[in-house]
Structure 1
């Protein structure tokens, strides 16, 4: 279902991306923002799943800016490597890559953005800073609380785990208080609960979050 494509950002940097096309006419487009583990088999699977639901899904490989072809697993060494790479890619540069993906995804109509972990933070930033998006769905973005005062300019739904050791419920409440128009859902799960390859995977929470996300996309993207 998916293919590898290239994106050229506004600063001239070229990165790869994974593109998954639906079988029929797209309902709209969707940008999928990676975790700190690169555009790995899980992220490609997320794209494929949304393509099955009718969306043209594109996942930019943000880490290509510093190290092409990164695909990490979920062991401690992978986590350390992912954090190291993340620190070398600024949010500003990631947003340039999102904008490049948006230019292609918009061929399908309205475009939403979904992101996981660090990608959730990127998705939140995109909701407040980029033109051309119609909806944002960040999952457990650790940097969102630090940007809670930055109001999204588009409908936004956020998902968090109540047992997330890296994002406290106090941070989640801070986001709720600062942005009452943002829909915030919490789940009896930990960080990374959407990823079936992680020990923190929680299928009931992942399924519920996906159903809510699809309903949100149907409402705001198509």
Structure 2
């Protein structure tokens, strides 16, 4: 763990992992409501293994340092309570500090899970110096569709997520065609976390493949890897400039 200092003097910890070779860029990992636990550390290590400087800021430190909650009803309740005790602007400020701490490695992506997914989506328009964002099953994202995204944004939702109705995801995609939003059949909330009951390996692997391709495209600057049903919004800006077919619509990648 390392220590970071926010602009208001708040000191908070962060889990950092560095690649073995010259970094390709950096990834800021935003936590779920359970803290910087072994799951978030594992994700951070995995991004480092892919060649990125990876850092996971401990966003609960403003309430209580060293939070590590259980994946049960009590842990969920305690985690949700802590999210309500931190000012959103302070959170975004702490995320900005984490971005600044790794930007020397190159372009920076933000990837968030659950509560962190919401924060990743907010960061796209509020945090400077980021190349792209990825959000996994952030509950409040589907209610915030008024602002056009300032950086390329990729989202993952489970079709069986009881906390995010598919009707809201469909509505969100209609309002925000500039966002690539994928859904996963049979997947529940937290489907990418192997410590949660809703874990679904197939969906987790597909989402990870898309996430890594997204980061590779916008952080490393490589040509995009075209995925099945990727849609125009998963391609380079040059592709976006192509004339749309008459009579058709393009709401981003179809939900599959």
TMscore range, shorter length: over 0.9
Structure possessing the higher relative contact order (Cα contacts under 8 Å, 6 or more residues apart)? 1
Question: Match of 2:28, SS?
Answer: strand
Does residue 73 of the first structure (1) align with residue 86 of the second (2)? no
Q: How many correspondences in the alignment? A: 219
Partner of 2:206: 208
Name the TM-score, length of structure 2 as normaliser.
0.84
Question: Match of 2:130, SS?
Answer: coil
Verify the 8 A CA contact 2:148 2:178 in the aligned structure 1: no
Does residue 54 of the first structure (1) align with residue 54 of the second (2)? no
Residue deviations 1:119-177 (CA, integer Å, cap 9, x gap): 00000000011111000000000111222112220001000000000001112112211
* Runs of 4 or more consecutive aligned structure 1 residues displaced over 4 Å after TM superposition: none
Verify the 8 A CA contact 1:37 1:73 in the aligned structure 2: yes
**Residue 89 (structure 1) shift:** 1.6
Map 1:62-211 → 2, pairs under 5 A: 62-188=59-185, 189-211=187-209
Question: Match of 2:109, SS?
Answer: strand
Verify the 8 A CA contact 1:56 1:108 in the aligned structure 2: yes
Q: Which runs of 5+ in 2 are unaligned?
A: 221-256
Distance in structure 1 (CA, Å) of the matches to 2:31 and 2:94: 12
Verify the 8 A CA contact 1:32 1:58 in the aligned structure 2: yes
Verify the 8 A CA contact 1:15 1:65 in the aligned structure 2: yes
Distance in structure 2 (CA, Å) of the matches to 1:91 and 1:170: 27
Verify the 8 A CA contact 2:149 2:178 in the aligned structure 1: no
Question: Match of 1:221, SS?
Answer: helix
Distance in structure 2 (CA, Å) of the matches to 1:91 and 1:150: 17
Residue deviations 1:80-129 (CA, integer Å, cap 9, x gap): 11011111123221111110001111011000000000100000000011
Q: Which runs of 5+ in 1 are unaligned?
A: none
Name the TM-score, length of structure 1 as normaliser.
0.97
Residue deviations 1:31-69 (CA, integer Å, cap 9, x gap): 100000011110000101111111111101000001010
Verify the 8 A CA contact 2:163 2:189 in the aligned structure 1: yes
Bigger radius of gyration among the two: 2
Partner of 1:14: 11
Distance in structure 2 (CA, Å) of the matches to 1:196 and 1:127: 27
**Residue 220 (structure 1) shift:** 0.1
